[in-house]
């Protein structure tokens, strides 16, 4: 009942605001003519705080109650924000060329970049864009693979089946079945690109991709160069991992199904999108039975509830001197999939009310992968809580990769020593073979992910710029996946398909470079934090659990939010102003040696 009251209250507010929009516009126009840039920014912060309050509530309800009614409410809130953002950016143009203090100038620039889908100024197009984005995200959230009318499997269950199943044909069925949900998105997505590009051009950018790449305190071209540099640094490690995994899969499924000189069939890598391969560990483990990290068994044996799994992650952050999560977090979060309605199970962290109302949304299962995801998601929550005292325009990560890297860094400290200390595994000795086993398990997750994380946005950049057109959406998607990941679709795909839409972040319009950057930054952060904590030994054995000194430094960087260039925030923690992948190479040195040895005599590459 409480949620229904909130829904009607939100709808009433939207209607009231719509009725007053003409009066508001007239009052705003009068204010702008006399405002200084500093006064404009102050007003923008006040209005943004209220808008985020409304849109956050609407988006939360839409994600946790997928109905036609919540779609209307979410679309209305999205359209209202889009209208406000478009008008404020136009007003901000009045201050171009003026001498402004750095803080005011930064706030105005971030205002322009504070949406991932800028709306056109035309009201009808703005409304159309909001409806499209709501529709296609809802298609994904409600998506199921139906064998028959009464035999349907939702996405979260399919993901688990992909991880658990080892039958070639069964995997193929799940893989192709899930991708049927994306076919109806294709035309809508093409229209989304047209509208969002129009909105980006009205803000002064060539297209939406150029706008996204402008959000990194460097030029769009410089950011592309930076991403390529980072990929080139880690590419040799990925290629060795790919070669070894392909050889093992050839032994399992036969070299006729997994050719040893070409790409790997995409459905065999233990993940719906072949983006992370951790569930293949039992097939790839270098030294079976040595230093096993079987957290799944402990979670099931002790029957950890979803809340207990979340509490485990909270305890880690608290050990660093960070505050406990508020009571409202435990009252308002979604920890399990409800049995009475459709929800989006994809894990996400929410900092509503300007970071004063923290929540996560998940459908938690008793697995180590889910536990690691929880530790990651709480990184977002603690970041949101750390910068909640910043003005709304600065309430974000130093760049979006920072936001993802906070929790990823914490997962690096989930070492065997830490897991034993908190009772999730049995204590074991420092066997070098166990180190390689653990690094293999981690690399199947983090290193395997890097090329996928890079190509998702590269595909979109090309779509937004027109280099990829609707006529070759799918072919271009698979060309990039083969180029970077060395994988191939297991069955023929055509332009009747829309395989990009089967990945949440495409219909949800969530930029993906953040995940690529986060997997780089987490190792850079961890190396700095381990030095602060006084760790003595290899980077791979370091856990900062319990280090108040490391936690204080970490939290101080987080508290600055986006109030300064990311280079300055990075320097506060690491002493450097450039992102680099050398910490990854250092971390995985033992595994690299193992892979090179195993791959001797094999034909690597694709």
Bridge-based pairing state of the strands 151-154 and 144-148:
antiparallel
Q: Catalytic one among 85, 244, 380, 535?
A: 380
Q: Mapping DSSP to helix (H, G, I), strand (E, B) and coil, where does residue 144 land?
A: strand
DSSP secondary-structure letter at 487? E
Q: Which of 377, 528, 535, 550 is catalytic?
A: 377
3 an active-site residue? no
Spatial distance between the Cα atoms of 549 and 300, rounded to a whole number of angstroms: 34
Q: Quick check: 241 and 448 in contact, CB under 8 A?
A: yes
Closest listed residue to residue 71, CA positions, set 5, 161, 143, 135: 135
For the question of residue 85 being annotated catalytic, the response is: no
Alpha-carbon distance of 69 to 167, in angstroms, equals 41
Which one from 404, 453, 504, 535 is the annotated catalytic residue? 404
Instruction: State the Rg of the chain over Cα.
Output: 24
**C-alpha–C-alpha distance, residues 513 and 519, integer Å:** 10
Place of tokens 């040195």: 589
* 382 counts as catalytic: no
Mention every residue, 6+ apart, whose C-beta is less than 8 A from residue 409.
379, 521, 522, 525, 526, 529, 554
535 is annotated as an active-site residue: no
Q: How far apart are the first and last CA of the chain?
A: 57
Annotated catalytic residue, options 376, 399, 403, 535: 376
* Residue 404 is a catalytic residue: yes
Q: Catalytic one among 131, 505, 512, 594?
A: 505
| Residue 267: active-site member | no
The residues near 162 (Cβ < 8 Å, ≥ 6 apart) are: 171, 174, 175, 267, 270, 271, 272, 279
- The residue from 42, 347, 508, 589 that is catalytic is 347
Q: Which two tokens stand for residue 484?
A: 């970077």
Q: Using CA atoms, how far apart are residues 258 and 290, in angstroms rounded to an integer?
A: 28
Burial per residue of 562-588, b for 16 or more beta-carbon CB atoms within 10 angstroms, e otherwise? bbbbbbebbeebbeeeebbbebbeebb
| CB distance 258 to 246 below 8 Å | yes
- List 375, 515, 588, 594, catalytic entry: 515
- Which residues are identified as catalytic? 346-347, 376-377, 380, 404, 505, 515
């Amino acid at each position: 009942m409480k949620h229904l009251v909130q829904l009607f209250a939100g709808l009433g507010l939207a209607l009231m605001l719509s009725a007053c929009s003409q009066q508001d516009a007239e009052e705003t126009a009068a204010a702008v003519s006399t405002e200084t840039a500093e006064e404009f920014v102050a007003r923008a912060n006040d209005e943004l705080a209220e808008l985020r309050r409304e849109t956050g509530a609407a988006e939360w309800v839409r994600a946790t109650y997928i109905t036609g009614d919540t779609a209307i409410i979410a679309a209305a809130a999205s359209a209202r924000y889009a209208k406000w953002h478009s008008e404020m950016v136009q007003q901000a143009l009045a201050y171009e060329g003026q001498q402004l203090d750095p803080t005011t100038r930064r706030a105005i620039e971030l205002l322009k970049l504070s949406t991932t889908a800028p709306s056109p100024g035309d009201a009808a197009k703005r409304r159309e864009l909001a409806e499209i984005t709501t529709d296609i995200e809802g298609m994904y959230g409600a998506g199921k693979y139906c064998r028959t009318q009464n035999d349907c499997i939702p996405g979260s269950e399919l993901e688990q089946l992909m991880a658990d199943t080892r039958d070639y044909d069964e995997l193929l069925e799940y893989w192709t079945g899930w991708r049927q949900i994306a076919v109806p998105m294709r035309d809508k997505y093409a229209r989304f690109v047209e509208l969002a590009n129009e909105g980006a051009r009205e803000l002064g950018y060539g297209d939406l991709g150029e706008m996204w790449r402008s959000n990194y305190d460097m030029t769009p071209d410089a950011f592309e160069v930076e991403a390529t540099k980072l990929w080139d640094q880690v590419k040799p490690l990925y290629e060795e991992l790919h070669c070894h995994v392909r050889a093992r899969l050839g032994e399992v499924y036969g070299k006729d199904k997994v050719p040893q000189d070409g790409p790997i069939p995409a459905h065999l890598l233990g993940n719906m999108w072949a983006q992370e391969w951790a569930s293949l560990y039992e097939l790839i483990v270098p030294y079976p039975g040595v230093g096993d990290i079987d957290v799944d068994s402990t979670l099931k044996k002790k029957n950890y509830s979803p809340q207990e799994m979340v509490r485990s992650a909270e305890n880690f952050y608290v050990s660093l001197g960070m505050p406990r999560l508020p009571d409202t977090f435990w009252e308002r979060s979604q920890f399990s999939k409800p049995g009475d309605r459709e929800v989006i199970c994809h894990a996400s962290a929410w900092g509503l009310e300007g970071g004063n109302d923290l929540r996560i949304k998940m459908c938690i299962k008793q697995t180590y992968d889910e536990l690691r995801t929880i530790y990651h998601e709480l990184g977002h929550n603690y970041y949101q809580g750390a910068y909640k005292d910043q003005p709304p325009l600065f309430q974000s990560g130093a760049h979006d990769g920072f936001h993802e890297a906070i929790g990823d860094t914490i997962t690096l400290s989930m070492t065997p020593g830490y897991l034993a200390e908190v009772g999730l595994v049995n204590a074991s000795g420092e066997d070098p073979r166990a180190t390689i086993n653990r690094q293999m398990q981690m690399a199947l997750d983090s290193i395997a992910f890097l090329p996928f994380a890079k190509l998702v946005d590269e595909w979109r950049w090309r779509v937004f710029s027109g280099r990829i057109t609707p006529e070759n959406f799918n072919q271009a998607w698979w060309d990039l996946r083969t180029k970077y990941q060395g994988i191939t679709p297991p069955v023929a795909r055509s332009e009747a398909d829309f395989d990009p839409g089967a990945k949440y972040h495409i219909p949800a319009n969530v930029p993906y470079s953040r995940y690529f950057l986060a997997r780089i930054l987490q190792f850079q952060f961890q190396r700095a934090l381990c030095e602060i904590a006084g760790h003595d030994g290899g980077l791979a054995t370091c856990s900062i659990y319990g280090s108040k000194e490391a936690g204080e430094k970490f939290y101080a960087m987080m508290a600055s939010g986006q109030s300064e260039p990311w280079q300055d925030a990075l320097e506060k923690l690491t002493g450097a102003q450039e992102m680099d992948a050398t910490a990854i190479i250092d971390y995985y040195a033992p595994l690299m040696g193992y892979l090179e040895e195993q791959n001797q005599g094999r034909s690597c590459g694709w």
